[in-house]
Chains A and B, each alone.
Chain A
Amino acid sequence: MSKFGGNKTAPEAGFDFSRRRFLTGAAATAGVVLATGVMLYGVPASAASSRQADGTKRWGMLIDVNKCEAGCDVCVHACGQENGLTGFDRPKSDAQWIRKVNLTDKATGKEQSLPVMCQHCAEPPCVDVCPTGASFKRADGIVLVDKHNCIGCRYCVMACPYKARSFVHEDLKNQKSHAPRGKGTVEGCTMCVHRIDDGKSPACVQACAEKAGGAMIFGDLNDPTSEISIAVSRYATSQIRADLSLNTGVRYQNL
């Protein structure tokens, strides 16, 4: 855990009034018989009962650029659909959580195409510059914006070397209930945190596997048995702007 992420990851869990929920829910499954709630005063309720973002994990992605076709934007569409990213047909100001970038090697003429989104850095500059603590890194390595605290200053937009953050300029309606977003706040790829918390993979990864070349692998970089860890230990992979030493969670192969 980085020193930056550690500070801004999470407030203390275990507030007094989750006690009742502990009583009615988890206590029953744990088989603890409680005549009254009194004995629970000494017990930190959430530590005993709740599932937290797992600090032993580091969610990441590996993108094989050779399998990513120029002109294919299945991942971009999947992201927009999943997170309800409606635009106003104004590409310069519409939100963009993931985009396709085409590269040409001037010396050889070799062309490549790759998706670029929030790279979920271990040392995220967006978190460093955020004046309100809205930009934060979760214990499992996902970099997010807590829009409740975001004042829309856009420091993070300037700080991010990947141009991964967008600002919402206009009033929105009919947002997805799992992806609230609104005018005056900054947003970016959440790695589909709502899906990850449900044990699913991000929408772009799933769409790429189902409808395109299967160029994206999602998984836990800290688990040596995961598909992504095996792949990054076996093949040469790279980070975009590795010179910045941000230790990105999104890595590229054959770039």
Chain B
Amino acid sequence: MLGKKTYILFGLIALVVLGFIGKQGQSDDGKIFVPTIPKAVGGECVAPPEVMRKSHMVMLKHDRDLKVKGSNLDIDTSLKDCIACHVVRDDVGAPVSVESPKHFCRACHDYAAVKIDCFSCHNSKPDETMPMMTESPHPIAWTEDEAPKDEEDE
């Protein structure tokens, strides 16, 4: 009979503790846990946030296939521009790599528990020679209806 009360007690303690831990990642209304997403340094993104959230990986894949195979050399939206615009800097002002949990991509990917393979080949930091981005090099390129759908992929 020791069990029931003890369990309830532990449960209550756990709730309080978890509440404290979770506080960092709470949304404004304090109800939902959300990742803290670093702000980009450039201006407008290539598509509205709701499109990017859903379809960024399909966009990257589509453009990369065209560019790598040489079917469209004019494509100017590339992963390296994403990286340059969404750069996160550490305390001394150096860009952080994907090894840091502060990295833009990791902010969401850690939260969603989705592994990123891009950075085993691609650099997760902007090139040292690349000028720091202050405004977006691209106008809005996709709207929601035009964004590639997941079904097209695989």
Contacts and interface: CB of A to CB of B under 8 A. Distances in A.
Interface string A158-197: 0000000000000111111110111111000000000001
Q: Which of B68, B127, B139, B142 has the most CB of A within 10 A?
A: B68
A244 interface: no
Interface size class of B (residues with CB under 8 A): 20 to 34
**What range describes how many residues of A lie at the interface?**
35 or more
A117 to B, nearest CB: 20
Interface stretch (A48-56, A93-101, A222-230): A48-56
A53 B70 contact: yes
Nearest to B59: A17
Interface stretch (B2-10, B23-31, B34-42, B143-151): B143-151
A246 B83 CA distance: 40
A159 to B, nearest CB: 21
Given A171-B120, A182-B121, A13 B127 contact: no
A138 B74 CA distance: 16
A124 to B, nearest CB: 15
B100 interface: no
Given A19-B146, A24-B139, A50 B72 contact: yes
A61 B142 CA distance: 40
B71 A174 contact: no
Contacts of A200: none
A177 B72 contact: no
Interface string B117-154: 00011110111001000000001111100111000000
Q: Which among A21, A52, A53, A146 has the greatest number of chain B C-beta atoms within 10 A? A: A21
A140 interface: yes
A19 to B, nearest CB: 6
A18 B74 CA distance: 11
Contact of A51 (B69, B74, B123, B141): B74
A49 B74 contact: yes
Q: Which of B121, B126, B130 has the most CB of A within 10 A?
A: B121
Nearest to B145: A17
Nearest to A50: B72
A182 B123 contact: no
A25 B138 CA distance: 10
Contacts of A176: 123, 127
A20 interface: yes
A17 B71 contact: no
Contacts of A172: 121
B64 interface: yes
B121 A177 contact: no
B21 interface: no
Contacts of B89: none
Nearest to B119: A182
Contacts of B109: none
A197 B73 contact: yes
A20 to B, nearest CB: 5
B81 to A, nearest CB: 9
A17 B68 contact: no
Contacts of B62: 15, 17
A11 B121 contact: no
B123 A20 contact: no
A11 B141 contact: no
Contacts of B73: 50-53, 197
Interface of B: 59, 62, 64-66, 68-75, 80, 83, 97, 120-123, 125-127, 130, 139-143, 146-148
22 contacts: A10-B69, A11-B65, A16-B148, A19-B146, A20-B143, A24-B139, A25-B139, A26-B74, A49-B74, A50-B71, A50-B72, A51-B72, A52-B71, A53-B70, A138-B69, A142-B70, A144-B68, A146-B68, A171-B120, A175-B123, A176-B127, A183-B120
